[in-house]
C-alpha cells in the first residue's frame, strides 16, 4: 500500500516550448543581461528588484523576485554550460531553510533555435531535489514559467520594435 503523503518531485519536471517574434540574439540577451532579465522574470505581478548574472560556465546568478505583497523570494544558481546564443544549462536553487540549504533545486536546459527573425525556445526544468514543504510551489512551476514567458514576449515586443 502506498502512503498518500508520498512526495515525488520528479512529477513536476516541466518542458515548455515557445516561439518569440524576435531574433535569437535578442532573446539570448534578455536571458543573460541582468537589466533585461529583471524586466520579465517571474510570474505576473512579480518584479525583480535585484538581479546579478555571470553567464559563463561556473558563473553564478542571483535573482530576487518580489511578490505583490512585498515578499522577496531569492533565487540563486550557477551556469553549467553556456553556448552563446544557442544553449544554456543552469542549476537554480530557491526556498532556503534556516541552515541556508535550498529546499528546491532544478536543472534547467534552455535552447534558442533561430528561425529567421523568430526564435524557438525550449525550456526543460528537471527537479533535482525538493522537500515536501515546497510541493505547492512546485505545482505552480509550469504556470510560473508560462507567465514569465508571456512577460518576456511583451518585453521583446517593446524592445525589439523600439
Q: Which residues contact 67 (CB under 8 A, 6 or more apart)?
A: 45, 46, 73
Would you say residue 1 lies in a domain?
no
Would you say residue 156 lies in a domain?
yes
Would you say residue 2 lies in a domain?
no
Q: Which residues contact 28 (CB under 8 A, 6 or more apart)?
A: 84, 85, 112
Q: Is 84 helix (H, G, I), strand (E, B) or coil?
A: coil
> For the chain, how many structural domains are there in total?
1
Q: Is 28 exposed, middle or buried (0-12, 13-18, 19+ CB in 10 A)?
A: buried
What grid cell was written down for 20? 518569440
Would you say residue 4 lies in a domain?
no
Is the distance from CB of 9 to CB of 129 less than 8 angstroms?
yes
- H helices present in 92-140, as ranges: 135-139
Kindly tell me if the per-residue pLDDT of 2 is higher than 60: no
Tell me the per-residue pLDDT of 93-108, one tens digit each, with 9 for 90 and over: 999 888 889 999 999 9
Would you say residue 18 lies in a domain?
yes
Alpha-carbon distance values, 140 to 37, 42, 76 (Å): 20, 12, 19
Would you say residue 91 lies in a domain?
yes
Would you say residue 42 lies in a domain?
yes
Tell me the per-residue pLDDT of 107-162, one tens digit each, with 9 for 90 and over: 999 999 999 999 999 999 999 999 998 988 888 899 999 999 999 999 999 998 76
Kindly tell me if the per-residue pLDDT of 3 is higher than 90: no
Percent of the chain at pLDDT exceeding 70:
96
Would you say residue 5 lies in a domain?
no
CATH of the domain at 113: 3.30.530.20
Query: Helices 24-32 & 141-161, crossing angle to 10 degrees?
Result: 120
Write out the residue range of the structural domain in which residue 135 sits. Answer: 10-161
pTM of the model: 0.91
Tell me the per-residue pLDDT of 8-54, one tens digit each, with 9 for 90 and over: 888 999 999 999 999 999 999 999 999 999 999 999 999 999 999 99
Amino acid at each position: 500500500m502506498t502512503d498518500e503523503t508520498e512526495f515525488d518531485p520528479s512529477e513536476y519536471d516541466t518542458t515548455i516550448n515557445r516561439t518569440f517574434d524576435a531574433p535569437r540574439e535578442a532573446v539570448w540577451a534578455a536571458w543573460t543581461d541582468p537589466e533585461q532579465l529583471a524586466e520579465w522574470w517571474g510570474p505576473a505581478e512579480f518584479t525583480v528588484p535585484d538581479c546579478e548574472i555571470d553567464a559563463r560556465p561556473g558563473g553564478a546568478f542571483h535573482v530576487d523576485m518580489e511578490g505583490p505583497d512585498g515578499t522577496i523570494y531569492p533565487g540563486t544558481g550557477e551556469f553549467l554550460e553556456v553556448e552563446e546564443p544557442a544553449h544554456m544549462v543552469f542549476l537554480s536553487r530557491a526556498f532556503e531553510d534556516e541552515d541556508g540549504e535550498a529546499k528546491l533545486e532544478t536543472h534547467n536546459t534552455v535552447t534558442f533555435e533561430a528561425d529567421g527573425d523568430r526564435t524557438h525556445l525550449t525550456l526543460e526544468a528537471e527537479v533535482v531535489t525538493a522537500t515536501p514543504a515546497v510541493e505547492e510551489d512546485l505545482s505552480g512551476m509550469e504556470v510560473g514559467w508560462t507567465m514569465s514567458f508571456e512577460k518576456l514576449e511583451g518585453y521583446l515586443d517593446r524592445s525589439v520594435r523600439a
